[in-house]
Amino acid sequence: MRFLLVSLLLTLFFIPGFSEIKLSKNYPLKLGEKLIYSVSALGAYLGDQIITIDSKKEFKGKQVIVGSGSIKSSQFVSSVYNLNDREITYFLPKDITPVYNEKWIKEGEWIDHMFFTFYPGKIEYKHDKGGSGTTVIKYEGQTILNFYALIQFVRLIDYDYYINNKLNIEIMYLFGETPTKTVFKPQYKTISFKGKQKGVIYLEEVGGMNFQVSILNTPEMIPILLKVPSYSASSQSINFDVELKSYLPGKTILTQ
C-alpha cells in the first residue's frame, strides 16, 4: 500500500482564481531557507518532511527559483514500509507559479521518476513507470500550484483583506488526476505551540475533508501546523499531523 500522506501532499494544487488572489506587500521568502516538519498519524511519528529554497537559475528563458522537498520514513516505520521521496520545483518568485516539477519516488516496492511541466491551462507529465508517453491534465485558469508551491504561496496572501472583509479563499486541488474544489475560511487565532501561545492565521476547510493550516502571524509567515486528511485502503478517514520542528531562515530576498 502506498504511503497515503505523500500521495495527498505531493499532488496538492491551487487552481482557478489563483491570479486574482490578493497578495500581501510583505514578501517573506528568501534563498537558503529550510523548513523541517515532523509527520505523524494516529499519534505515531512517521518521518520528516523537509522543504527548502535552494538557488536561482534560468529555465526556458525565464529566471526561476529552485526549491526542493523530501520526506523520509523514520527508522521504525522503515522496518515495515520504506519511504524516501524527494522532489524539485522551479517557480517564478513573484507569485510562486511553478513551471517545472520533478519527483523521485520510493515507497515500498513502488519506485518511479516523474516529470511535470506547467503551462497555462494544462500540465504535461510523464514517468518511468508509464513508459515514454505523456499525459495532459487540463484545468481552469492560467496557473496551478503543486504542494511545494502551495506551502510557499499561503505565506504571501493578504489575510487582512480576506478576514476583514469576511471572504473565503476558493481553492481547487488535484488528487491523482481529479480536480477537487474546496473553500478555506481564514481567521486570526491564538494557539498553543510547543508550550507557548502563538498568534496564527488559521485556514480551515469549509466542508470537504477538513484540511487545516496554521501560519505564524509574523513577518516570516511560517506554516507551523497542518492537518492533512486522507483515506485509507479501507475508506476510513485518517488525519496526518504535520508540525514544524525547525526553521532555518534564508538571507537573500527572492524578489531582489
pLDDT digits (tens, 9 = 90+) for 83-102: 788 999 999 998 888 999 99
pLDDT band at 19 (very low <50, low <70, confident <90, very high): very low
Number of domains making up the chain: 1
Kindly state whether residue 94 falls inside one of the protein's structural domains: yes
pLDDT reading at 241 higher than 60? yes
pLDDT reading at 256 higher than 60? no
pLDDT band at 10 (very low <50, low <70, confident <90, very high): very low
Q: Which residue has the cell 493550516?
A: 213
Non-local CB neighbours of 105 within 8 Å, separated by 6+ positions: 6, 85, 111, 112, 113, 114
User: Residue 159: in which H helix or E strand, if any?
Assistant: helix 159-164
* Better-predicted residue by pLDDT, 17 or 229: 229
Kindly state whether residue 63 falls inside one of the protein's structural domains: yes
Q: How far apart are CA 18 and CA 35, in angstroms?
A: 24
Question: What is the model's pTM?
Answer: 0.84
Kindly state whether residue 53 falls inside one of the protein's structural domains: yes
Kindly state whether residue 255 falls inside one of the protein's structural domains: no
| Strand ranges inside 108-206, DSSP E | 110-119, 122-127, 135-138, 169-175, 178-193, 196-205
Domain that holds residue 34: 4-246
Q: How far apart are CA 55 and CA 32, in angstroms?
A: 8
* Residue type for position 169: I
Q: What pLDDT does 129 receive?
A: 77
Q: What pLDDT does 42 receive?
A: 80
Kindly state whether residue 253 falls inside one of the protein's structural domains: no
Q: What pLDDT does 130 receive?
A: 65
